[in-house]
């Protein structure tokens, strides 16, 4: 399988507001920890979570990590979770 450009994947996700929300279903969730840090998690990709001093920072970091994980899975021929794979289906 050929390498997938992270830029193309990022532009697609931003166009469809994927990691912010998909329709009314939120894909990336954020919450404030007891110590004041923010944590963001992409629930469709187990283990994809990131901390930040602000909610925006945590969200930005988790988006970047999710894109790396998705690109790595595609490059290695690994399946994507259903919620993500359907974004790549032909109409």
More confident residue, 6 or 42: 42
Q: What is the CA radius of gyration of the chain?
A: 13
Mean pLDDT on 42-46: 88
pLDDT value of position 2: 44
CA dist., res. 22 & res. 42, Å (int): 12
pLDDT over threshold 60, residue 75? yes
pLDDT value of position 55: 92
Q: Tell me the CA distances in angstroms from 36 to 31, 74, 75, one per residue in order.
A: 10, 35, 37
Q: What is the SS3 assignment for 20?
A: coil
For residue 22, the 8-state DSSP code is B
Give the model confidence (pLDDT) of 6-21 as tens digits.
Answer: 666 666 666 555 554 4
Give the model confidence (pLDDT) of 45-74 as tens digits.
Answer: 889 999 999 999 999 999 899 989 989 998
């Amino acid at each position: 399988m050929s390498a997938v450009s992270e830029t193309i994947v990022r532009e697609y996700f931003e166009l469809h507001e994927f990691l912010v929300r998909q329709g009314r279903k939120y894909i990336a969730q954020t919450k404030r920890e007891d110590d004041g840090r923010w944590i963001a998690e992409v629930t469709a990709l187990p283990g994809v979570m990131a901390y930040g001093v602000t909610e925006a920072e945590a969200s930005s970091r988790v988006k970047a990590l999710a894109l790396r994980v998705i690109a790595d899975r595609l490059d290695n021929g690994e399946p994507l979770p259903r919620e993500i794979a359907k974004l790549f289906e032909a109409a």
